[in-house]
Structure 1
Amino acid sequence: MSSSVDQVKAWILKRHPERTDIPADLDLIDNRLIDSLAFAEFLFLLEELGGQTIDRGSLVVDDFRTLARIEQKYLRAAVR
């Protein structure tokens, strides 16, 4: 995983101090690690880390289910 994904993981863990780690394939939505109240802030974080704007009109919930998918969809450009 990239350092950008580590920053995403740290952001989530800060909001869930009962957790010590988040596996790359854990479903973040089903496990309530990302919720609707913090989603706008989460999108802003992804835009900042990924260096690109995320089109709110074309969001697909499955793109936010796991750290692995988030990295693939939104942070891949930041790694290059």
Structure 2
Amino acid sequence: MADGLQQVKNWILDRHPERSDIADDLDLIENRLIDSLSFVEFVFLLEQQCGKAIQMETLEVDSIRTLAAIQRHFFGAQLEVEA
């Protein structure tokens, strides 16, 4: 896992101490790991970690729905799926 993506994952885990890990394909929004109150802070963190500006008005929710999608859209590579 890329260091930037690990920082994103750690940020989410810090806000949800009941979780010890997040599966790469877990829907972060549906499972309320990213909610409307933390969304802007999350996008700001993502910008810092990937080094790219993210335009809120053109951001597609599917690009941040899972860690695998975040990896693909913001860090340029797919996560390796563990068997």
Q: What is the TM-score with the length of structure 2 in the denominator?
A: 0.87
1:21 Cα deviation from its structure 2 partner: 0.1
1:2-61: CA deviation from partner (whole Å, max 9, x where unpaired): 111111110000000000000111110111100010010001101001101001110111
Q: Tell me the equivalent position of 1:61.
A: 61
Q: Which runs of 5+ in 2 are unaligned?
A: 78-83
- Conserved in 2, the CA contact under 8 Å of 1:46 and 1:75? no
1:56 is aligned with what amino acid? M
- The CA distance in 2 between the partners of 1:75 and 1:37, in whole Å, is 24
Identity within the alignment, %:
57
Q: Tell me the equivalent position of 2:52.
A: 52
Q: What is the TM-score with the length of structure 1 in the denominator?
A: 0.90
- The CA distance in 2 between the partners of 1:9 and 1:47, in whole Å, is 14
Q: For the aligned residues, what is the CA RMSD? A: 1.2
- The CA distance in 2 between the partners of 1:24 and 1:2, in whole Å, is 13
Q: Tell me the equivalent position of 2:9.
A: 9
Q: Tell me the equivalent position of 1:36.
A: 36
- The CA distance in 2 between the partners of 1:59 and 1:4, in whole Å, is 19
Q: Which runs of 5+ in 1 are unaligned?
A: none
Q: Which moved more, 1:41-50 or 1:67-76?
A: 67-76
Question: Does the residue aligned with 2:72 lie in a helix, a strand or coil?
Answer: helix
1:75 Cα deviation from its structure 2 partner: 2.1
Structure with larger RCO (C-alpha < 8 A, sep 6+): 1
- Conserved in 2, the CA contact under 8 Å of 1:43 and 1:54? yes
